[in-house]
Structure 1
């Protein structure tokens, strides 16, 4: 990997550009699985960026499982059976992109709710109910309830008792964080939207508590469908601000709605 990679566009999100360029080279086998990445100094020279940018890019690849550090030896490409998913959030600052990402959530979370209805126990139901109360209190206190919303959806995922689904949702959520901020901001700007979301959360919890998998799947899917409808009603001024939020740097975290 002695050649200069894809050109890096000056400006924000340099670490994401470097990470994407490195990922592309790794997928092409340069370097191959098990081989060592160039040194930090070499990457700084090749990409013409700072050491901080390189460190952030490599850290991102580590979090995705693309590379790993070996103490005293450097950073190496991991052996992997498949290439990790990659979402380019720089092109996601649009209403259509937000809608498409909510569609991804709908495909997964409707089934998670159905499984939760089939497998939940008393402790699961209590956690889901506590999460709704905490979310209500956060909103009443003037917050957006984002963190509390995370706990609500995670409680449902835990009740589904499928670690692979939980891991999949957690993985996707780190990429969809910007979309979550947009949906939350959109729903918070109108009282009727906020009420709708609260009622939808309650409907999902009720179906899970009743052990009705069919209804849980239906109301969870409707929750996502309605999120799309609410997004479609956002005005152009809102999207101008939302584009800035979507273009912000990604960090690990759960998607919140």
Structure 2
């Protein structure tokens, strides 16, 4: 039986789930192994059975363990495949958001290049419609956050690669607050708003022309400039910058 560390009352479920995860990933509970009973884990951790039940429920949700009728809880075969995680508490600063933008930049560049190579007429029409909707939303005074996400999703869909879609959707959830802050800031500054429109148009034009290199460069430029505009918040708008920390 692995020895678990007693934990404080705060964040009990998170702490238990994390320790169990570490034991699974470390091999203390290999694939197919049975976890100790709720009663045993409750005693080992020094918490209630309810906390243990909630922690195990989280591991079940992630596909790491499963219940077998009348037998207990077992580690699944896919438990050895580590899911990608980004802790929300680690994304509340401007620096961390910029790091995620940096990661997204490399992905968006390849997405645009592949979209230029593979897009169909239908996919191109969807990209055009998404950009038109984004421009209309902003013109009507909206923040354009969801429309912006839909625009980039349309480009990813044009690649025909579902993993691009899944990866960008994963990253976008951690950039929602940052995107809203930057788009609000861009809407107040005509030069920023114009730059964003021109950057989007350059990406679309390259995809339409089937020019993968131009599409890649246009997407990289857009993401570089998005990071620059976001960085400027740290200098110009401390109130909005603080909004990132509350995310």
| TM-score over 0.5 for the pair | yes
Partner of 1:32: helix, strand, or coil? coil
Corresponding residue for residue 145 of structure 2 = 146
Query: Would the aligned equivalents of 1:120 and 1:159 in 2 still touch at CA under 8 Å?
Result: yes
Q: Structure 1 residues 215-224 or 92-101, which shifts more?
A: 92-101
Root mean square deviation, CA, Å: 3.1
Give the alignment of 1:19-34 within 5 angstroms: 19-34=17-32
Query: Would the aligned equivalents of 1:18 and 1:47 in 2 still touch at CA under 8 Å?
Result: no
Corresponding residue for residue 158 of structure 1 = 157
Give the structure-1-normalised TM-score.
0.77
Query: Would the aligned equivalents of 2:118 and 2:159 in 1 still touch at CA under 8 Å?
Result: yes
Structure 2 distance, partners of 1:40, 1:185, is 45
Query: Would the aligned equivalents of 1:68 and 1:75 in 2 still touch at CA under 8 Å?
Result: yes
- Tell whether 2:179 aligns with 1:183: yes
How has the CA–CA distance of structure 1 residues 199 and 42 changed in structure 2, closer, same or farther, with 3 Å as cutoff?
farther
Query: Would the aligned equivalents of 1:115 and 1:160 in 2 still touch at CA under 8 Å?
Result: yes
Higher Rg: 2
Corresponding residue for residue 242 of structure 1 = 244
Structure 2 distance, partners of 1:15, 1:233, is 38
Gaps of 5+ in 1: 246-257
What's the CA shift string for 1:37-89, capped at 9, x where partnerless? 4566766673747948953x555544544334556665532223532223233
What's the CA shift string for 1:100-150, capped at 9, x where partnerless? 111111111101100100110110011111111222333344432222222
> What is the aligned length?
239
Gaps of 5+ in 2: none
- Return the offset for 1:159: 0.9
Give the structure-2-normalised TM-score.
0.80
How has the CA–CA distance of structure 1 residues 141 and 28 changed in structure 2, closer, same or farther, with 3 Å as cutoff?
same
Give the alignment of 1:45-64 within 5 angstroms: 46=45, 48=47, 51=50, 55=54, 57-58=55-56, 60-62=58-60, 64=62
What's the CA shift string for 1:172-202, capped at 9, x where partnerless? 32xx523232132123123233333232222
